[in-house]
Structure 1
Amino acid sequence: MNSRSTHPDVLVIGGGATGTGLARDLALRGVDVTLAERDGLSAGASGRSHGLLHSGARYAESDPEGARECLEENRILRDIGGACVRETRGLFVQLAEDDPDYFEAKRAACEDVGISVDVIGGETARDAVPGLSDEVERAMWVPDAVVVPSRLVAANAAAARDRGADILPHAPVTDMTVDDGRIASVSLGGDAGRTIEPTYVVNATGAHAGRTAAMAGVTVPMRPTRGVMVSVDYDGLEPVLNRCRDPADGDIVVPHEDEAVLGTTSVPVDDPDDYERADWEVERTIEECATILPAATEAERIRTWWGVRPLYEPEEDARGGRGISRGFHLLDHAADGSDESSPPALGSDGVDNFASIVGGKLTTYRRMAEATADLVCERLGVDAESTTATTELPGASEPSTLDEYVREFDGQGPTDADLVGAGR
């Protein structure tokens, strides 16, 4: 890895999907980038998710625009991601106790958005998915898939590095100096152990965005929530299973060849580094997922982990609850800046060379990165368009190469610990 520039054009803070996606996008446009992450790539939400590549069906009736974004990015990532994506399809299932009107509303909304659906009866669904609950009355196929996030993040980092970016996976930001309305310098600890003077700084630290922004005297209100994932021994599940009801605890099962990941819960946390891991979350998740896949109750538990969602407080207040599609917010902290993706929420912060990217979903990371890169290039006077939607990720066709990138950047997350290194 490079470790040379002390005056990069851009410092990206945060080594998840959005941060590495931004580094890739900028590097492909010829911008000199340094990326700093404190704990190895994928250490945050990206590497601690359930790994679902949304088709948009989950949000079709509540947020059609967000659903279209998911559908478009789903197709793009399948084209550029190779072995970063597992082609599985998805199945939304209606149990006997579930509201049939909700199923019909989702089907109609998916068709309006352009998401392909195929409605099948319960018996046909059980033939397609052995072990599916006898309580399934009908189901619909949708083009969901599964992301291998450790590979995805590492491949984006490798693409940036190959274009000259400086990728620092163990370089926590320890201090920022603001002078005359600009970030003048940023001190990096860990393996980096140096101070750099970037022209522009982007905060892509997920649930930690508020803390990172505070170093520059900026307020970014976050409302993180935790969610548990439980991986159980379950061989041969093909599609992602979604229970077709209002989003709630334990309504998604994600296939991992000889394991199945059960998720999830949503509980507010005060500190994204220090929070309770409650047994009731595990038990509720298993119990609820077993309504779809009964054998999950007795299956051997292989791994359990929690992730913390990087939710933006003003949007949570405005939308009022779980299950609503969470968009992303690009916050320009310049004196004349604003929230680039929604009506202004924070006012003028007065730090001219600083932006934060918050919210969003793993599925839309590339779109988030592109929007942020557009803003950065405008500020830097760089006249170049994004090419990330049509440029294949390095190593995409070679799982072993992708896994080498994961090791190089210390990017292994718990979501795909059973897949990375196994050549799958």
Structure 2
Amino acid sequence: MAIDTTALVIGGGATGAGVARDLALRGCDVTLVDRGGLADGTSGRSHGLLHSGARYAEADEVGAEECIAENRTLRDIAGAAVADTGGLFVQLAEDDPDYFDAKRDACEAIGIPVEVVDGDEARAAVPELSEGVERAMRVPDAVVSPSRLVAANARDAADRGAAVHYGSPVEGIRVDDGEVTGVAVGGALDETVRPEVVVNATGAWAGELAAMAGVSVEMRPTRGLMVSVDYPGLGTVLNRSREPGDGDIVVPHEREAVLGTTSVAVDDPDDYERADWERERVREACAAMCPALSDATHVREWWGVRPLYEPDEADRGGRGISRGFFLLDGADEGVGNFLSVVGGKLTTYRSMAEATADAVCERLGVDEPCRTAETGLPGADDPAALDEFVADLGGPGPSDSDTVGR
């Protein structure tokens, strides 16, 4: 028997769960489906950084402004899903001091709090920091638990009437007279869903999903490796103050430090090479900032696939510093009730979801404002409750499997 729904959101990562929550808060009838566990794709395979915006400040003012705004919002609404670690951008002797100065100036102009300290002060904060660190810049980076964040969004959506189905892959999309009229969903749901509006929030898989509806979404997925080592004493995020490159970030967890990352284009986000050189390069590059990481015991590793939008990547000439998002209307190709949201980053998932929900509500004639920035997530102040949500929705992804439920 077919399921009728007002909005079908496909993809249960941070953005998809955020869209479902936003629409449910506005009183919409929502169904959310994902082929695996929630946060099973890109969201649960990140390094878990909650950006301050400093990483983008000198190259993407708008993106940096969005990051610092969402950073503050998530600290307010997400509670125990966020750890307030702070961050350091460190300049090594071989790094261009002009790049550091440009980043500091841009942060100050945007309103991102920064404090420049010399190498000795930086080493007082992180005792095993390299002697080659000449100066550093404190910024309000933090660490977010993707599994907790996604699960809390999905739980809030469900508590407000949304139907949430994981382990339920989309197997086909029927289009009649320029509208999606049916979506065949297999797995645990095993039903046809008849939506008024479809939101494609499948990240790196957005092109494949869109093709089922006869819509083209050009993606350029890139893989990135994260290596987690036994290193409980870091305490703060470390960023290398240089043009983006492999191994330029270290993210602290409770007992581990996550070293990242690489950027290699892949043809298939489900089937790609895992290369030894990535492990070696990430470890070596991160150890330049903190030499003790060179010998720290390897605990685990994972690759994630970034949902990069091909036209944006082409405009920037490949690996760049911007990570904006794009809302694509299937009406441009004759499918009027099919929207795709692509690009972006975990930090800005809520604003991506807001923009997408605004577009859905415009089509539906729903005149309700977004309330996700002011409404706290359920269980936000109770880590055990958040971890129960995660367990109920498929378990944690590799990004935070060392901390969630422990």
The TM-score with structure 1 as length reference comes to 0.95
In structure 2, runs of 5+ residues without a counterpart are none
Structure 1 residue 411: deviation in Å? 3.9
**Percent pairwise identity:** 68
Residue-pair matches, total? 406
Moved segments of 4+, more than 3 Å: none
Per-residue Cα deviation, 1:99-156 (whole angstroms, up to 9, x for no partner):
1111111110110110010000001100111110010000010000001000000000
1:27 to 19, 24, 29: 24
Any residues of structure 2 matched to 1:94-105 within 5 Å, and which? 94-105=91-102
Q: What is aligned with 1:90?
A: 87
Identify the residue that residue 327 of structure 1 maps to in structure 2: 324
Query: Which of the residues 291, 294, 308 maps onto 2:291?
Result: 294
Note the C-alpha offset of 1:322: 1.8
Task: Report the counterpart of residue 159 of structure 1 in structure 2.
Answer: 156
Native 8 Å contact 1:26 1:33 kept in 2: yes
Match of 2:280 in 1: 283
Residue 360 (structure 1) aligned to one of 338, 341, 344 = 344
Equivalents in 2 of 1:313, 1:251: separation in Å?
24
User: Contact conserved, 1:237 with 1:257, CA < 8 A, in 2?
Assistant: no
2:194 corresponds to which residue?
197
Cα separation, 1, equivalents of 2:2 and 2:159: 15
SS at match of 1:199: strand
Work out the CA distance in 2 between the residues paired with 1:268 and 1:175: 27
Deviation digits for residues 181-201 of structure 1 (CA, Å, limit 9, x no counterpart):
000000110000111111110
Deviations 1:149-206 (A, max 9, x none): 0000000000000000000011100011100100000011000011111111000000
CA contact (8 A) 2:2 2:194 kept: no
Which one of 32, 45, 48 corresponds to residue 48 of structure 1?
Answer: 45
1:323, distance to aligned residue in structure 2 (A): 3.2
Q: Is this contact kept in 2: 1:94–1:100, CA < 8 A? A: yes
Q: Is the 8 A contact 1:286 1:296 kept in 2?
A: yes
Q: Quote the Cα distance in structure 2 between the aligned partners of 1:33 and 1:224.
A: 28
1:148 corresponds to which residue? Answer: 145
Instruction: Show CA shifts across 1:272-301 (max 9, x none).
Output: 000001111011000000000101111101
- Counterpart of 1:42, as a letter, is A
Q: Pairwise CA RMSD of aligned residues? A: 0.9
Mapped to 2, the partners of 1:106 and 1:119 lie a distance apart of 11
Deviation at 1:320, TM superposition (A): 1.6
Q: Deviations over 1:210-232 (max 9, x none)?
A: 00000000000000000000000
> 2:326–2:341: 8 Å Cα contact kept in structure 1?
yes
Return the TM-score normalized by structure 2: 0.99
CA distance, structure 2, for counterparts of residue 7 and residue 60 of structure 1: 44
Looking at structure 1, the residues matched to 129 and 254 of structure 2 have their Cα atoms a distance apart, in angstroms, of: 16
What SS is found at the alignment partner of 2:252?
strand
Contact 2:2 2:191 in 1 (8 A): no
Task: State how far apart, in whole Å, the 2-side matches of 1:324 and 1:98 are.
Answer: 17
- Per the TM alignment, residue 5 of structure 1 is displaced from its structure 2 partner at its CA by 8.1
Moved more, 319-328 or 101-110: 319-328
CA contact (8 A) 2:41 2:304 kept: yes
Asked if structure 2 preserves the Cα contact closer than 8 Å seen for 1:248 and 1:323, the reply is no
Local SS of the residue matching 1:97: coil
Q: CA deviation at 1:321?
A: 2.7
Paired residues for 1:69-148 under 5 Å: 69-148=66-145
2:305 matched to 1:308?
yes
Indicate the SS of the match to 1:316. helix
Aligned partner of residue 302 in structure 2, secondary structure: strand
Question: By how many angstroms is 1:235 displaced?
Answer: 1.4
Distance 1:302 1:169 in 2: 28
